Amino acid sequence: MSKKAIVLQTTLELITTQGIAATSLSQIIKKSGVANGTVYHHFKNKDEIITELYLMLTQDFGTVVMRNAPEDDLKKQFTVMWLNLFYYFVNNPLAFIFSEQIARSPEIPQTLKDEARQYYNDIQDYFKKGIKAKVFKSYNTLVMEELFFGNVVSLVKIHENETVKLKEKHINQAIEISWRGFLKDDTIL
């Protein structure tokens, strides 16, 4: 792992456990074991580290969701997208915590959030395609994306809390419930 990657990983670990405000650059340097000069070679300050981390993880989310999603079948694509995000979060708990606690934080400036939206273009295009095909209700695609993510996040939380031992049938039920929420009332698929 490169020194820059170590700094980013350390920052992720610190801010997901104690928050952005409580994480100082000196803590990042100390915990990462990377020399001051090396950190400053890659980043001017803590904000620059957080910006890169935020953009990197947002890009990961957008890329992972669309991985191997078949383009010819909206429902199959939805299922693959849903499972991709679910298993990404299950297998990357720090990314999950980051997305829940930090990425939605007011400490992340709106300009950065707006810049990161580019990584969700394929997801937005998917919902636009479903609307155009008259499969999905004609809702705001940002609302649709957030509801899609929210459905996945809800099941990840159940998984993380282990209050219910999730089985494949529970995951499939969650996907079906989520899918039906987007369908036009007269659509049968």
Beta-bridged to residue 183, according to DSSP, are 136
CATH topology of domain 1-43: Arc Repressor Mutant, subunit A (1.10.10)
CATH of the domain spanning 50-182? 1.10.357.10
How confident is the model at residue 104, as a pLDDT? Answer: 72
Q: Write down the domain spans for the chain.
A: 1-43, 50-182
- pTM for this structure? 0.88
Long-range contacts of 160-167 (CB under 8 A, 24+ apart): 160/93, 160/96
Which residues lie below 8 Å from residue 1, measured CB to CB, with a gap of 6+? 9
| Helical ranges in the chain per DSSP H | 3-18, 25-32, 36-42, 46-66, 74-91, 93-97, 110-116, 121-132, 141-161, 168-182
Kindly report, residue by residue over 134-188, the tens digit of the pLDDT: 999 999 999 999 999 999 999 999 988 876 788 999 999 999 999 999 998 765 5
Chain CA centroid to CA 138, Å? 24
Chain CA centroid to CA 140, Å? 19
Quick check: 171 and 83 in contact, CB under 8 A?
yes
Kindly report, residue by residue over 91-111, the tens digit of the pLDDT: 999 999 988 887 678 888 899
